[in-house]
Amino acid sequence: MVVIRLSRGGAKKRPFYHVVVSDKRSARDGRCVERIGYFNPIATGKDVKLELNLERALYWISTGAQPSDRVSRLIKQYEQQAKETTKQ
């Protein structure tokens, strides 16, 4: 089964996550099929907190990939940000 999940990077006490599509059996930080974005939970100032290739995420979901709970929330959040920026 294919899943969309977060892969941790960054230093100790400074997390940084890549949003990846990978096989469920592979390790969290192991081999991935595709990187579709990143999430920086401690972004401040002009740093980008969430960057996501929404088109690819929706493609993978349509082919049967299961997003994790956190990634599902991030996709919804990114869609809302995209709607707000197009309204302005």
Percentage helix, strand, coil, to 5, in the chain? 30, 35, 35
* Count of alpha carbons within 13 angstroms of residue 12, beta-carbon side: 0
34-84: per-residue pLDDT in tens? Answer: 999 999 999 999 999 999 999 999 999 999 999 999 999 999 999 998 888
Match 């990939």 to its residue by tokens: 65
35 bridge partner residues? 20
Number of separate domains in the chain: 1
Residue 88: is its pLDDT beyond 80? Answer: no
Report the CATH number that the domain containing residue 49 is assigned in CATH. 3.30.1320.10
13-37: per-residue pLDDT in tens? Answer: 999 999 999 999 999 889 999 999 9
Expressed as residue numbers, the domain containing 21 is 2-87
The pTM score is 0.90
